[in-house]
């Protein structure tokens, strides 16, 4: 006799189900951390917020020579710039049957709510990312171009790794991989806009493939090896740290494009092309997010409906969902740069 001989013995054996679930895919989403947060109180009579900035800029030519006894006749004017940010409502829901709830081996409602929170986080991060690119459609999330236009009426400028000045030049370049000097150039370009102080600190948010390029860079290696007292790079842990006053942070939701169409999101390069990654170098005040108090996408309040009502008189389903009334807006495009580069990892 064996486990399956005679055949009737097989009926006593069955699969054992483990209640220890496998880990799922986890995104690293950090963009919203670097935006300014604004709350719009309820009962204000509006669902948008208008922000202002004095248009005062230094102009030495406004200073005049005076003649004794002659009244000055030309006067200095100052005005206001404004940007209006309308809020939009978004949300998501799921539905489970009562039979599933009664018979389930695993808690489907609990996992469903976790899925809702993951969706909310990725939606928020993707909307922020697409706004930084001047408004676009990527991963099914459409962002109006007005969201990517700052108070000066401009979008965040793009620059390119190495000596390249265009996307075509970047693709044709022998390297085109992100180097520490590119982060310094981006920070310098922002400082030259005269919107930040010269000792301002900056953040660079990079894709893991781009972070790998930095960790392979000889400049980073030399600093890490020769000056262990600095905050630059723990090579053993794969951490980059600060480079030229730019703190490097990684995320997994970068804007990527095939080299043939730099403004169209792509998960992989088209045949014969290379993948171009966007790194966001910015300082405080580059962009902001607005939400109605109590409807925040950062900590969505999940609503669970599990009682009979007119629409479900026999209580055959359980519903769960969340909603938010919020918006993202580039505030000052001069305080950020989109730094485009190739990667050794994806283009080797």
Taking the model in full, what pTM does it have? 0.85
Per-residue pLDDT tens digits for 241-252:
788 889 999 999
Confidence class of residue 234 from pLDDT cuts 50, 70 and 90? Answer: low
User: Is the separation of the CB atoms in 301 and 92 below 8 Å?
Assistant: no
Residue 139 has pLDDT above 80, yes or no: yes
Q: Is 54 helix (H, G, I), strand (E, B) or coil?
A: strand
- With a cut of 70, say whether residue 25 has pLDDT above it: no
CATH superfamily of this structure's domain 156-289+331-347:
hypothetical protein PF0899 domain (3.30.2320.10)
Distance of alpha carbon 291 from alpha carbon 40, whole angstroms: 6
pLDDT at 347 over 60: no
Average pLDDT, integer, range 317-335: 92
pLDDT of residue 69: 94
The mean predicted confidence, pLDDT, of the chain is 86
- Render pLDDT for 53-112 as a digit per residue (tens, 0 to 9): 898 888 899 999 999 999 999 999 999 999 999 898 899 999 999 998 888 877 888 888
pLDDT per position as a tens digit, 278-315: 999 999 999 999 888 777 877 778 889 989 989 899 99
Q: Report the pLDDT averaged over residues 161-188.
A: 89
Q: Which of 22-31, 215-224, 323-332 has the highest mean pLDDT?
A: 323-332
Cβ neighbours of 204 (radius 10 Å): 28
Q: Provide the pLDDT confidence category of residue 23 given band limits of 50, 70 and 90.
A: low
The pLDDT, as a whole number, for residue 338 is 96
Residue 238 reports pLDDT greater than 60: no
In the chain, where are the structural domains located? Answer: 156-289+331-347
Are the CB atoms for 251 and 203 separated by under 8 Å? no
What gap in Å lies between CA 112 and CA 117, rounded to an integer? Answer: 9
Strand boundaries in the chain, DSSP class E: 36-40, 48-54, 80-86, 88-97, 137-138, 141-142, 158-160, 202-206, 232-234, 239-243, 246-250, 256-258, 275-282, 287-292, 303-305, 317-330, 336-341
């Amino acid at each position: 006799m064996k486990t399956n001989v005679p055949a009737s013995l097989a009926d006593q054996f069955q699969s054992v189900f483990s209640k220890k679930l496998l880990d799922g895919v986890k995104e690293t989403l950090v963009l919203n951390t670097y935006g300014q947060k604004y709350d719009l109180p309820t009962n204000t009579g509006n669902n948008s917020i208008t922000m202002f900035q004095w248009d005062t800029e230094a102009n030495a030519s406004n200073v005049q020579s005076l003649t004794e006894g002659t009244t000055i006749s030309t006067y200095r004017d100052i005005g206001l710039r404004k940007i209006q940010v309308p809020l939009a409502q978004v949300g998501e829901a799921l539905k489970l049957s009562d039979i599933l709830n009664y018979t389930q081996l695993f808690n489907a409602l609990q996992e469903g709510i976790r899925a809702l929170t993951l969706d909310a986080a990725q939606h928020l991060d993707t909307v922020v990312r697409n706004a930084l690119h001047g408004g676009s459609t990527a991963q099914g999330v459409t962002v109006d171009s007005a969201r990517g236009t700052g108070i000066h009426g401009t979008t965040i400028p793009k620059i390119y790794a190495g000596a390249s000045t265009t996307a075509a030049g970047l693709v044709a370049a022998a390297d085109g991989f992100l180097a520490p000097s590119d982060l310094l150039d981006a920070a310098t370009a922002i400082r030259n806009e005269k919107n930040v102080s010269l000792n301002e600190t900056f953040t660079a948010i990079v894709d893991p493939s781009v972070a790998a390029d930095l960790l392979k860079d000889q400049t980073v290696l030399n600093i890490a090896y020769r000056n262990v007292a600095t905050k630059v790079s723990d090579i053993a842990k794969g951490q980059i740290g600060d480079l030229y006053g730019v703190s490097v942070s990684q995320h997994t939701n970068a804007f990527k494009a095939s080299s043939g169409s730099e403004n169209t999101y792509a998960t992989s390069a088209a045949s014969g092309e290379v993948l171009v990654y966007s790194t966001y170098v910015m300082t405080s005040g580059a962009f902001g997010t607005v939400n109605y108090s109590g409807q925040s996408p950062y900590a969505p309040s999940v609503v669970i409906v599990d009682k009979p009502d007119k629409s479900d008189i026999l209580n055959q389903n359980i519903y769960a969902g969340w909603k938010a009334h919020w918006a993202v807006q580039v505030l000052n495009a001069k305080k950020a740069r989109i730094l485009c580069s190739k990667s050794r990892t994806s283009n080797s």
